[in-house]
Homo-oligomer: A and B are copies of this chain.
Amino acid sequence: MKMSELSERSGVSVASIKFYQREELLPEPERSSPNQARYAANHVDRLRLIRALVDVGGLSVAAVRRVLAAAEADIPLDWAMGVAQHAIPGSVELPDQGSRGVTEIDSVSASMGWMVSPDNPGRAMAARVLDSYLQLDHEELLSVLPEYCSAAEIVARVDLGTVALQPNRARMSETVVVGTVLGDSLFAGLRRMAQEDAAHRQFSRAES
């Protein structure tokens, strides 16, 4: 298929496709002449994946490039997961070593029996959130950490179970990457729904 058809089928404008090509987010197309290209079904799929990562997962184009590279490379799955985790916005460096947030996170993680490497991006993210909470004088969050952790464990277990179901390695990598990125949004959505339900039960007409 040629450019205009690729654009139609994927729902991405020709100009944007060219942009993604410049950014090396698409595989090289087949050439029918040095000056003309033919695209295939995998280009459509790739474009859809890019849009999902960008629109739903909120990734930047640079992050998408890193994530796609990880999904393609024949890399250990836990490494692919690490790359996907690192690509997600908000994954920055750990707060000061001795920060209260780090201490609390490590302590609760230990009490869950988790084996987590010190450079896990989630550890930095969670510690950062805790530090913010503490700085805002919302200490109450600490007491609910264990329950958050149990919930996270449930989710993580089914995440990994889903990966194991995949028929081949390429598919597993894709599942890891897509699941890591889109799973956050899915859970966030479900949490809002559950919050509304819990709010109804707890204080909708009673005290507000």
Contact = CB atoms under 8 A, between A and B. Distances in A.
Interface of A: 45, 48-49, 52, 55-56, 58, 76-79, 81-82, 85, 88-90, 105, 109, 112, 114-117, 120-130, 132-133, 135-136, 138, 140-141, 144, 147-166, 174-175, 178-180, 182-200, 202-204, 207-208
A10 to B, nearest CB: 10
Given A136-B49, A136-B178, A203-B77, A152 B194 contact: yes
Contacts of A136: 45, 48-49, 52, 174, 178
Contact of A208 (B76, B152, B186): B76
Contacts of A133: 178, 182
A162 B135 contact: no
Contact of A160 (B48, B52, B127, B195): B195
Copies of this chain, complex-wide, total: 2
B125 A185 contact: yes
A86 B144 CA distance: 24
A95 B132 CA distance: 34
